[in-house]
Amino acid sequence: MCSNKKLLRRPRPYIDESLIGYIARLADTNYYPSPNYILKISQLRVTGIYSNIFISKIDDLCILSQIAEVEDSILWAMAFSSTNSCSSAYIFTSVVKAFGENISTSLFNKTGPRFCPICWQTKAYYSQVWHLSRVTVCPFHKCFLIDTCYNCNNKIKFLRPRLFKCQCGFDLRDSQINIANIEEFALSFQIYKLCQVPEIESINYNSQIQDLEAAKSNKLNNLSDYNYDSFEGLIAKEPRVRNDTFFPLLGLEKLLNFRT
Ligand SMILES: [Zn+2]
Ligand SMILES: [Zn+2]
């Protein structure tokens, strides 16, 4: 059953925006007390939202599509959807379709949302890649993503009234910025590339690495140990450290399982 009603404010989704993040943004922009409200009127479950997983046999995006005036197919492209063909309402989903691949649900962050406070100063939405546990850094701003409130030290939740504010009232865009280390930057950068995050190709990888080197000037000899090869990724010059620091041309699933 689809609704004829529409939300008062219906911003278009960004191309790399996650569906649950979009639902949170719709709630914020329409001044609803919680994204739960949008889930409720859209007749969607709360389960699984931390990892942006929606299941086509259970979750009908028809109402959301109507009230937000966004095509059903676009909403599904924003979700990580189950590839399970079983129609039971109690499917255990272990693999979902995301970024054009089948990805294990164990590789998604289930503890809550993460974000880049600097990205949020210009573009206020949740990127799909931020749901991946292995993405810890924003390659655009060379800083670690944030999942904890700087003020109250609690984990940030999706289901909170305002997009920018923690439940304690702290403006999350004012969070402290922590500069990334080189390995985490390199790994997140490679994953952003494989996930085709818009504008990632505009990043000059080598100059970003140099900036990070400068930021860690007291550990300069770490930095001269690396070369970046656009085909192979970050590689260590010394065979001695190569096994630990080699990000070769791995597929997305391998990168998402990478342990540093
Ligand atoms: Zn950023
Ligand atoms: Zn807080």
At 221-245, the pLDDT tens digits run 444 555 555 455 555 555 444 444 4
Nearest ligand for residue 185 CA: 1
116 CA → ligand 1 middle, Å: 5
Q: Which ligand is located closest to the Cα atom of residue 152? A: 2
Which ligand places an atom closest to the C-alpha of 140?
1
Residue 223 CA to ligand 2 center (angstroms) comes to 36
pLDDT at 145 over 60: yes
Tokens of 259: 């342990």
Which of 149-153, 171-175, 189-193, 231-235 is predicted least confidently?
A: 231-235
pTM of the full predicted structure? 0.84
Alpha-carbon distance 17 to 29, whole Å? 15
- The pLDDT confidence band at residue 56, using thresholds 50, 70 and 90, is confident
Report the separation in Å between the CA atom of 148 and the middle of ligand 2, taken as the mean of its atom positions: 8
The single-letter code of the amino acid at 232 is: E
Average pLDDT over residues 77-85: 83
Angle at CA of residue 34, ends 130 and 88, nearest 5°: 70
